Amino acid sequence: MTEGVLAGLRVVELGQVLSGPFAGAIFADLGAEVIKVEKPEGGDDARQMGPAFRHGDALNFHEFNRGKQSVTLDLKSPEGVEALHALLETADIMLHNLRPGVAESLGIGPEEVTARHPRLIYCAMGAFGHVGPEKLRPGYEPLLQAFGGLSSITGEPGGPPVRMGASVVDQGTGMWTVMGALALLERRHRTGRGGVVNTSLLETALLWAGQKISSYVNTGKMTERHASGHPNFVPYQAFDAADGPILVCCGNDRLFARFAGELGHPEWVTDERFAKNRQRLVNQKTLLPLIAAIMKGSSRADWLQRLQRTGIPCAPVNAIPEVLEEPQVQALEMVQTVPGEDFSLVALPLSFDGERPRVKSAAPRLGQHNARVAKAAE
């Protein structure tokens, strides 16, 4: 695949830190030309988000800005705004995650920009949403995990709320932005006009918590934390083997019957306390300690071999170094060396005609492409 699937698409990104830059990185990996507009003094704050890794910039910056071009513009000046409009004349998509209200204060809000560039797809990512009493409130990943309920459903039963280890809200917002932009791009093919895509960290958090929200709305019951477990299946959680944890998922009674056999307790299948999943849910405080005691008696490798042989879904609870050693992970070639560099990054989780999009270049230096893009905008 010499050209990406979005080759010929031009994206202008006014992105800071994560959600905006992640959307831009998706476009870049898919082959679009992505022009990252940064402030002249220091650029994207993510350049300083951690120790210097390569070229003076933090590793996080390289992660979310590979494959882009960098242009510096002072958007607080009329000249900078006009230079941005010159870029937008030839752009298909503009995206930003500026602090709420900033784009409007600079005169580059959705109404002004789409009036001047009617074919442009304008994507705005906020913190709390584009409507409502909190629409101008800024926010970051952990704040929206907390506000949107995700922290309350994560962690050990009876324990404190826990932040998810991955930036699921920021990166999810970037993903929805890309999907929204591509949807409007398809509409533009039919109608010739662009439009505005709005999404936010809060909306993403609410969707990720959607099953729990729907449960409360429709049953009135508060969600309990289940650590590695599941509210509707038993057993469906991690157990400690002799040398490390292993996750076992018995998603139906047939799988439980096989599991009970491997544990040496085929009689559980006819035990009225454990025979059916609903009975196991009621009696899990009795059943789970019995399973845990047996699992501790053999190594993780032994359990994996035995359970996989009988078709019981299971997996080791891997640390990151163990993940990278997994033959299946290596076969997927998700970790790619950046061309011309001595480091690697994680690629996109999709393939086209059997081929994964490649990371095409490192993150740009601040203002590296000023002259090239200025000439293209003439």
- Residue 138 near residue 100, CB atoms below 8 Å: yes
Helix (H) or strand (E) holding 230, with range, is: none
Bond prior to 161 in cis (omega within 30° of 0): no
3-state SS assignment for residue 347? coil
Q: What angle do CA 44, 171, 31 make, to 5 degrees?
A: 75
Report domain extents, the chain.
10-209+333-376, 236-316
The yes or no reply on domain 236-316 and CATH 3.40.50.2000 is no
Q: What is the DSSP letter of 33?
A: E
Q: What is the DSSP letter of 355?
A: B
Sort residue 298 into left (φ over 0), alpha (ψ -120 to 50) or beta: beta
Which tokens in the block code for residue 278?
A: 């609903």
> Known catalytic residues?
170
Backbone angles phi, psi at 94, to 5 degrees: -120, 135
Question: pTM score, two decimals?
Answer: 0.92
- Per-residue pLDDT of the chain in tens (378 residues, 90 and over written 9): 557 999 999 999 999 999 999 999 999 999 999 999 999 999 999 999 999 999 999 999 999 999 999 999 999 999 999 999 999 999 999 999 999 999 999 999 999 999 999 999 999 999 999 999 999 999 999 999 999 999 999 988 888 989 988 999 999 999 999 999 999 999 999 999 999 999 999 999 999 999 999 999 999 988 888 888 888 899 999 999 999 999 999 999 999 999 999 999 999 999 999 999 999 999 999 999 999 999 999 999 999 999 999 999 999 999 999 999 999 999 999 999 999 999 999 999 999 999 999 999 999 999 999 987 666 556
What is the CATH number assigned to the segment(s) 10-209+333-376? 3.40.50.10540
